[in-house]
Structure 1
Amino acid sequence: MKLKKSIYYIFATLVFAAVTNQLYAQQKDTLATKTEVVNFKTAVRPIGYGNQQKSHTTGAISSISGDEIRDAFNNRIGNALMGRLPGLTIRQNGFEPGASSTTLNIRGVNTYGFSNAPLVIVDGFMADYDQLVPEEIEDISILKDASATAVYGLRAANGVILVTTKKGKIQPLAINFNAQYGVQNPVSLPRFLDSYSYAFLLNEGRRNDGLGELYTSDDLQAFSNKSDPINYANVDWYDEVFRNTAPQSNYNLNFRGGTSVVRYFASLNALLQDGLYKKFGDENEESSNSKYSRLNFRSNIDISLNKNLSAILNLGAAVEDKRNPGELTTNNTISLLDRIAPNSFPVRLANGSFAGTNPLNNPVGDLLSTGFSTSNSTTLQASFRLNQLLDMITPGLKASAAVSFNSFYSGLSNKRKTYTRFSTGAVATPFGQNTSLVGTEGVQSQWNNNALQASLTYNRVFGKHDVSAMAIFNSDYYLINKAYPGTNAAGNDIPYKTNGVSSRVTYVYNEKYIAEFSAAYQGSNAFAKGKRYGFTPAGSLGWIVSNEDFLKGSKVIEFLKLRGSYGFVGNENIGGLRFGYAQRYPFVDGYIFTGTSKLSGITEGQRANPDLTWEKEKKANVGFEMNFAKGFGLIVDLFQNNRFDILDRPNTTIPLILGYNGVPETNLGKVKNKGLEATVSYQSNQSKNLQFHFNAQASYNKNEIVFSDELTQINSARTTTGMPIGYGFGLEAIGFFSAADVSDNTIARPVGLVIKPGDIKYRDIGGPLGLPDGIIDDNDSAPIGNYNLPDWTFSFQSGVSYKGVDLNLVFQGVTGINLNLSGNRYYAFQNNGKVSEIALKRWTPETASTATYPRLSSTDNNNNFNRFSTFWKRDASYVKLRSAEIGYTLPVKTLKRLGLQKTRVFINGTNLFSLDHLDEADVEALGGYPALRTVSLGLNLHF
């Protein structure tokens, strides 16, 4: 609460200063607002450690403004970027409020090592981006090739994401208020069968196992007519725990303006989101409603101290609060809901007590009577920069110095208790005890990231010669004060330290020919002395063909630029044992000399590798950009990345006869990744009442493991070398066993299992040279599908406006990827679990020719059933309507009477529908918290 009060105080102070400054501006400056049309040749693009005229860039860079992603009503920026930037692949890791995250990959994956995560830079420094809101973002750019990323040295191999927050402008005070309120509902929920169907199918499974039926015909009748809901329960546990809709709202107030002396931007944003749990906190004060909230604050101030010296102070903060009944996340509750059978017991007995058994908790009782959990996290981002013009030395020279402080803290509070539940039947057996709430507090995670920068930049035009140069020194450290519970925090008390210098030189001749060289010399304390520093150079060329005489004045081609780059970058985040270059001697149990006491000893740990180094990558890229036919645009890029020195276990190059206690990790692996990206866009004449625009994007990438020092396989098809990273290796299902197959001993089957008609049959390729050997085991695994990232990612964004009405749509899709069904939602009766609709198409002697599901079994020891195989493989391709928004802007005459510059009302929807091949669930949420659809109503006010 102290932090919130501080934010409110700072915000109020800043608003007062802004208003005071505006009064001063009205006295000193005459300013007029106007609509600017961006000129392509003078527009600038973030290129890392600075900006560059867009027509002069030779790197592969894609950008989007913060205003363009405001129509995606999400609590994470990563989700809002889906389908917006070519070359950026995004996976949403869960949908639970406050517990979701996104995985971002630039141009697919390039290593099978520890990390493919791109480097994220916010306002020039490493920082977290996912908690930012669109209203505080000026633009987001992704740097993809060596020309664009080489200045980031040993952190650039996975690409770079640049986030620039909004700054003040020389303009009158502009106040914007945005409000949005909507409801979320699950896209789909698991479709489990009721008690009658469960009992009927379980009897069938037991008969298939040679066991007696568990339920009589009278039992089945009681389940069917629901005459005894206590002893013959029929509970839809998801319906008891979850509600159909939950509210979500977002409110933003921001100020922007300034004079030639002071320019400012300030923003306050509040996001409120309820979880799908029912309001258990309203029923019991010792429980809690499911809620998530986030408060974002930003204050960016730019002050001209004199005509040559300016100062920039950027402050940003995000405060998150999450609470749930029971445990902090829904993971364990959903796992129980997926397992507990509908007839296990009712929610409550006739006397109102909670029902339950010894091995199974009551989900409703757990959420009402075991207390609640809360977490609070604070993210702070602060940077201060001084810019000094050095025109007195030479025109175009500028010096800059900056410091950054970023921190994150997350605390956890648990209020826990237990309760008593009772079995059904004539004698209600109690399980558990009623206790009082007991609180525990702790730290979930905490880190600090501080950095220093100093730079010199030079920009000068000499007739036909345009020269720009940059040199920058950067030093930063990252310290994890406390790791997440259960993780290995060894070495985390020592900061991750990086120092380096970077440079870039760009030369443009006659606005036609462009040459650029960039490089970094950077070092990390992750490696041994003498091995810490590396040089990462890159060069690129560009040719603005449209400025040549033979294309000047063309009525078709308005702008055409060819470009190419080649360079060398690195990735220091290689994983493995930290400080693996140093030999370790861990303590172990020693010897007993007298009595029972042991004297501790030490032993040689994993063998050190003093030559440990970072991953390295050679990047090549060619592409072109063009504008043509009065409104059309086309951008195409082809690329190839060759990654090497990937950390790997030397399974074949170091023989076991050497007797190492832990084979040293070695830089051995190699991966090749190549692909293409294309963007086609159109913008109609903006002076017309009827306007139309679209942007179609497609990205393709395919990687291959060139070398992995893996063990020699009996079946060469199990070798990962030559295959894409993350490719699935499993059995090939070739139907179901028939009665004739079961009696035919020449048909391969798993060793030690009794195969029956209706079991899954697999192809036998497990012998030497891929020949049959008569048994089914792990040696029969072969490549069966891509379970990592899609081969193709595509999107289509379009909009139309007529006078005050506008409509915008964003479609996004992927293809060339698979998923695997597993767990209680798809495996009938596994772990004494329930059964879903997928089992209705099971194999029986009568349905043998049409069955799509194996015979039912009530036991868990049929390992033939749930093997990773093509039987459970599904095509994960989809096309989704990510967002749709229709709005209306009120006429100007009406607004002026109210003192408004612009007012817009709109209806927005996110994740509205999906076209895919999956019948069993949403393609992005096979398990866990359900995928969410949101429909909202919003209002924008501009003063």
Structure 2
Amino acid sequence: MNRNKMSFGHVKRFAFILLFGFCQIVLYGQNSKEINGTVVDESGIPLPGVTILAKGLNFGATTDFDGQFTITVPSENTVLVFSYVGFITTEKSASDSSFEVVMVQDIQSLNEVVIVGYGEQKKATVTGSISTLKGAELTEVPTSNLSTAVTGKLSGVVTIQTSGRPGADAANIYIRGLSTWVDSSPLIIVDGVERASFSQIDPNEVESISVLKDASSTAVYGVRGANGVILITTKRGKEGVQNISFTAELGGQTPVNIPNFLNSYDHLQLLKVAMINDGKDPSTEPLLSDESLEGFRLNQDPYLYPNIKWYDEVVKPMALIQKYNMNVSGGTKRVKYFVSMGYLNQSGMFKYTDMHDRYNPDTYYKRFNFRSNLDFTINKYQTLSVNVSGRSGEQNGFPNESNVFQTLIAKAPYLYPIFNPDGTYGANIQEPNPIVKIANSGYDNTRTNDYDVVGTLKNDLSFVTDGLELLMNMSYNSSVGSTKSYREQADSYYYNPGTQEYQQIIEFSPLSYSGETSTGSYRNIGLQFQLKYGKTIGKSELNTTLVYNQQNERYSANSPFVLMGYAGRVEYNYDSKYLAEFNIGYNGSENFAPGNQFGVFPAGSFGYVISEEPFMKSLKPVIDFLKIRGSVGLVGNDKVGGDRFLWQGLYSYTAPGSIGSYQNYSFGTTNPSNTGGLVESRSENRNLTWETSLKRNIGIDAKLFKNNLLNITFDLFDEHRTDILMSARSLLNTTGIPSPQYNIGETKNSGFELELNHKNNIGDFEYSVRGLYSFARNEVVDRDDPSGTPDYQKLAGYRIGQYRGYQVLGYFTSEEDIANSPDQSSLGGPIIPGDLKYLDYDEDGQITSADIVPIGYSNIPEIVYSISPEVKWKGFTLSAMLQGAANSSVLFVSNAGYEFGGSAGGGQVTETHKDYWTVDNPNASYPSLHSNATHSNKNTNSFHLKSGNYLRLRNVRLSYSIPESFCNKLKINSINVSISGNNLKTWSEIDDFDPETVSSDGSKGEVYPQQSIYNFGVNIKL
């Protein structure tokens, strides 16, 4: 009975729900409204793909190709939101009678500002060649160093990271390749003041980065602008509500491209083959006996037959990296502020650093960053800005850390065990144990403190005349570092498994303090005045800037020197269509002799915004913006290397040496006494000067389609660098005095850059793609080649730093082939079938140093490129970057390339060496094996010169912004969580090493490897 009543109750409720739902449908049908409309721009041109959303409701529509749309809304009170890339978001009530929606282009994007030397300009009217990057893009890259965070993000910029060591992992930066063999480092400017480096700045402090590349943009820096200029602008507070941002990141670092060396058995098998090839008897080597080889194959006794993969034993699979930042910004009409504090803790990747609690030899790096940027409005006409920043770094590690990697690559796996049976360290007389170096040799602790203070007083002189402004800037920058060293030694023994006896190789010595040494100091005091004037009359706009700049710099114990200069810029544009700019720098440097200390560096540029012409209006749907620009000018480079006063003659005192030495004086005849004296070690040359660079550039900036679907920037450039400092090579040295330096070097460099940006949205799905491609090729015009040098061995006509060696034709296939080929036995023998066969370039029947020719490229790539896609959908953002380089070479010699490291059995061998030439394997990838370190095969040659081309999955990032409704409940503005990775995968022809961490001489695959970083982060804004 009750059950029937209950069932009937359900039926009543169900019927009520149906009735209620039906009524709702009827009411909706009565109140709903179908809206048909069109969306156009200010010129009346239809906009396709505009997103239309009902505010607060989960539905919407998009416009078709003709800008038309249809949408049904529940009532006339509904508000429609119209959004489109490049236009201001517009809201419109459904009750409006007219539904032609006019969208206005985002003025902010039109007036986007670019930071330039001593000022800023509208991007639309810039005539120089400048690459820009927003600071927000830097914080998305999980890296410990700001210089590596810019990789692949700026056109024309080449970065090469040669080491992954914590605290020493900064990238070398080249702008538009190489134009000199002396010093190619760019000028670094932070908030208008020159700095020695920017790599240790916290990315959370950076507002933007501008890279100045052509003469027009760098001429105001005169004698220091030839290598390009990097401008770092840090964040400032804005008037409004206070903003607090906290970021925490925790990541794991793993070494990339770890070499895969062979085990002891395979190693010794190859050594046996190499000894036979060298005409040696393997039976004289006990390790190569059948019994011994079988013991290694079966791993019978780890003490008698060691098999140590040293790299795997020493290097951790993962180490931690932590980053934290908190910044506060805001302000009133009177005071604006930005204050930031950051902390980085990067662990090292070595095992065995925690074997005792007396000290920590781990190769860690810790850094604390602080910045306070304050702006005070003193009165109607004056504003004072004060920037105070600092960095405190601590770098720790065991002594001679770089030598450990050399040991790991050079040390054969069979030499001795890590630990003896009694737990002591294993060793032998010739080879120290790398574990001892890491865990029990002491440590070096280096602390560096940097302080920067910049004060800028901005004076509005409009009471004198409209548009007049005076800026006064004073700056102080210092850097001081020192290293405290502690040393100890642990007992190490050679254990003889046969006799079970121990022979002490290293005797214990306790940890002791061995002193403190300076790692260098730097101080820079600057003074700067800027007078600016701007005037607009009708459609004409004129802006002028005059600058006086003075710096007093001092490095360590060197003599201080002063840089002084003037700069000027005149900008003119008519109707934002016809653009012209003239820049000039007049600079002086104490590096040069009086009379040669000052120089003038002028540059001019033009621009033509052709899209503003009336005849282009019909193309507006396709070409929204098109600017043609060009520049030409002179800039200088005073980084000429050498001593402080390189132009002066130099005398050196030599202590008493052997009787008859030309550097000593001998008195007497029977029993002569030998006395030291002064020796002229350098001749005077008062005509020394800076390098001079003539730069030319033509560029195009284009925005295609009305909503700027595709932005294109293209630059074509060339450079002629003269007066490069070098020692004369064509003069005979008949005096015994080293040749003085002369400004006789000359190069040329040319190339192009292309940047493409595409951004669009389909409803609430947004996507963008950015592509960069840069090419720069240099050529030595004059490097004072000695007379009589064959053309093919001259430096002129070839690339800066291009490798030189023997050109390999292939392998010798037989004894007959060897007999019928030019004799190369003088390079090291014996020469056997399977050895490398060299080109007899001078055709004299012998292979000698006269046959050395240019081969491959240099180690600096001519081509760099990247592609960076990004998608956004409902709070999720997924981004990535593929970055690569081409037209570079990597030389593999010594331990990094040769079998057995170039020494008889002492080094390592890899899978590459297993595929060696034999009669049965004529198509082998490696020539015949030799244990002889001086064999012909082990000369620098094109076989050991590998392609440095690579493609990297540089970074991937997935982030999610927590819904605003949830954050509001917590009284938090926003929460963003992310997972990301950096340096995740590399594709190259080099298997065992990273193409960037092998040095130009090929001997240094033995450095701290680059790191892959896997990162989790959270950002909270209050």
Same fold by TM-score greater than 0.5: yes
Give the TM-score normalised by structure 2: 0.85
Q: 1:242-283, CA deviations, whole angstroms, 9 ceiling, x for partnerless residues?
A: 111111111111111101110000111111111111152244
What SS does the aligned partner of 2:221 have?
helix
What SS does the aligned partner of 1:684 have?
strand
Residue 430 (structure 1) aligned to one of 504, 527, 530: 504
Letter in 1 for 2:682: Q
Instruction: Within 5 Å, give how 1:447-596 maps onto structure 2.
Output: 447-482=522-557, 492=558, 494-552=559-617, 554-588=620-654, 589=656, 590-593=664-667
1:779 aligns with 2:856: no
Residue 800 (structure 1) aligned to one of 858, 871, 893: 871
Letter in 2 for 1:867: N
Quick one: distance in 2 between partners of 1:453 and 1:349?
66
Quick one: distance in 1 between partners of 2:923 and 2:820?
25
State the match for 2:20 in structure 1: none
Residue 792 (structure 2) aligned to one of 717, 732, 735: 717
Letter in 2 for 1:466: E
State the match for 1:123 in structure 2: 191
Report deviation, 1:195.
1.1
Structure 1 stretch displaced more, 359-368 or 520-529: 359-368
CA distance change for structure 1 residues 587 and 290 in 2, over 3 Å: closer, same or farther?
closer
Alignment gaps of 5+ in structure 1: 1-33, 483-491
Report deviation, 1:510.
1.8
CA distance change for structure 1 residues 809 and 817 in 2, over 3 Å: closer, same or farther?
same
Residue 63 (structure 1) aligned to one of 124, 132, 136: 132
1:360 aligns with 2:426: no
Report deviation, 1:648.
2.3
Structure 1 stretch displaced more, 90-99 or 543-552: 543-552
1:671 aligns with 2:752: no
What SS does the aligned partner of 1:147 have?
helix
CA distance change for structure 1 residues 275 and 775 in 2, over 3 Å: closer, same or farther?
same
Which is greater in Rg? Answer: 2
State the match for 1:390 in structure 2: 461
Q: 1:709-752, CA deviations, whole angstroms, 9 ceiling, x for partnerless residues?
A: 02235542111111111111111112222332466165331426
Residue 952 (structure 2) aligned to one of 855, 869, 880: 880
State the match for 1:20 in structure 2: none
Structure 1 stretch displaced more, 202-211 or 384-393: 202-211
What SS does the aligned partner of 2:832 have?
coil
CA distance change for structure 1 residues 753 and 64 in 2, over 3 Å: closer, same or farther?
closer
What SS does the aligned partner of 2:449 have?
strand
State the match for 1:193 in structure 2: 262
Structure 1 stretch displaced more, 626-635 or 287-296: 287-296
State the match for 1:228 in structure 2: 301
Residue 180 (structure 2) aligned to one of 103, 111, 115: 111
Quick one: distance in 2 between partners of 1:72 and 1:221?
51
1:923 aligns with 2:998: no
Residue 245 (structure 1) aligned to one of 307, 318, 326: 318
State the match for 1:281 in structure 2: 354
Quick one: distance in 2 between partners of 1:917 and 1:138?
38
Instruction: Within 5 Å, give how 1:897-912 maps onto structure 2.
Output: 897-912=969-984
Quick one: distance in 2 between partners of 1:408 and 1:702?
36
State the match for 1:271 in structure 2: 344
CA distance change for structure 1 residues 742 and 38 in 2, over 3 Å: closer, same or farther?
same
Report deviation, 1:599.
4.0
State the match for 1:890 in structure 2: 962
Quick one: distance in 2 between partners of 1:199 and 1:601?
55
Residue 838 (structure 1) aligned to one of 900, 912, 919: 912
State the match for 1:763 in structure 2: 838
What SS does the aligned partner of 2:895 have?
coil
1:754 aligns with 2:819: no
State the match for 2:274 in structure 1: 205
Count matched residues. 888
Report deviation, 1:647.
1.1
What SS does the aligned partner of 1:776 have?
coil
Structure 1 stretch displaced more, 166-175 or 727-736: 727-736
Structure 1 stretch displaced more, 51-60 or 598-607: 598-607
Structure 1 stretch displaced more, 585-594 or 459-468: 585-594
Instruction: Within 5 Å, give how 1:64-83 maps onto structure 2.
Output: 64-83=133-152
CA distance change for structure 1 residues 129 and 287 in 2, over 3 Å: closer, same or farther?
closer
Quick one: distance in 1 between partners of 2:560 and 2:779?
34
Quick one: distance in 2 between partners of 1:156 and 1:752?
46
Q: 1:429-451, CA deviations, whole angstroms, 9 ceiling, x for partnerless residues?
A: 11121111111221111111121
1:373–1:415: 8 Å Cα contact kept in structure 2?
yes
Alignment gaps of 5+ in structure 2: 1-88, 91-104, 657-663, 999-1004
Aligned residues: percent identity? Answer: 31
Q: 1:530-576, CA deviations, whole angstroms, 9 ceiling, x for partnerless residues?
A: 11000000111111112222224622221111111111111111124
Quick one: distance in 2 between partners of 1:732 and 1:248?
45
CA distance change for structure 1 residues 939 and 929 in 2, over 3 Å: closer, same or farther?
same
State the match for 1:9 in structure 2: none
State the match for 2:389 in structure 1: 316
Report deviation, 1:861.
3.0
1:932 aligns with 2:1011: yes
1:825–1:836: 8 Å Cα contact kept in structure 2?
no
CA distance change for structure 1 residues 233 and 239 in 2, over 3 Å: closer, same or farther?
same
Report deviation, 1:757.
1.8
State the match for 1:680 in structure 2: 756
2:166–2:347: 8 Å Cα contact kept in structure 1?
yes
1:621 aligns with 2:694: no
2:836–2:927: 8 Å Cα contact kept in structure 1?
no
CA distance change for structure 1 residues 525 and 517 in 2, over 3 Å: closer, same or farther?
same
Residue 340 (structure 1) aligned to one of 411, 423, 426: 411
Quick one: distance in 1 between partners of 2:412 and 2:769?
50
Letter in 2 for 1:836: T
What SS does the aligned partner of 2:680 have?
coil
Quick one: distance in 1 between partners of 2:240 and 2:545?
30
1:749–1:761: 8 Å Cα contact kept in structure 2?
no
Quick one: distance in 2 between partners of 1:805 and 1:886?
7
Quick one: distance in 2 between partners of 1:619 and 1:286?
55
Quick one: distance in 2 between partners of 1:758 and 1:95?
41
Letter in 1 for 2:224: R
Quick one: distance in 1 between partners of 2:790 and 2:487?
52
Letter in 2 for 1:89: V
